[in-house]
Amino acid sequence: MLNFFPFSNFSLFGLGAFIAPHEAGEAAGSQAESKPITIEYYYKLVPGGTSEWLALYRKNHHPILRELVKDGLILSEKLCERRFHAISPAWDYKVVMVWRDWTALQQARPREDAVTPVLYPNREEHVREEKRRWELTVEHWDDVLKDVPLD
């Protein structure tokens, strides 16, 4: 799995810049480019850090994602936690996002850069709190899902 980013360059949407050109090239000229893309983002947190992480996610990241939903880049976002304990793979939260298409992944980073200062005029506080959210994250990985036809 992909393991992301040093904080100073972190963006949840960096995945789009990394994957989309390759996938879009494979799909060039086909309708595959315009199909929704489902990505699961997994977070394993330090013991006792779930409440703080969740509060920081809701305050500092979810509003950015809401803006991307309004823009039509993300079709849906859902945050999940496990109902029962499991040993492996160990994760505390999973965010499932359905992106409009590969192009939306590429468009997300510039849009994130534009909306963040509007939502968070106190840049230092936002950076400090996002840094803290990532300090609480022991592991992070993303799974880009591909639908498999059953018929």
Q: 42-59: per-residue pLDDT in tens?
A: 999 999 999 999 999 999
CATH number of 36-145: 3.30.70.100
What is the C-alpha separation between 1 and 94, in angstroms, rounded? Answer: 14
Domain coordinates in residue numbering, the chain: 36-145
Whole-number pLDDT of residue 68: 98
Cβ atoms of 111 and 68 within 8 Å: the answer is yes
Would the pTM count as exceeding 0.85?
A: no
Whole-number pLDDT of residue 32: 54
CA 38 to centroid of chain Cα atoms: 11
Counting as low any pLDDT under 50, the low residues of the chain are: 1-11, 13-14, 16-22, 24-31
97 exposure class (CB count in 10 Å sphere: 0-12, 13-18, 19+): buried
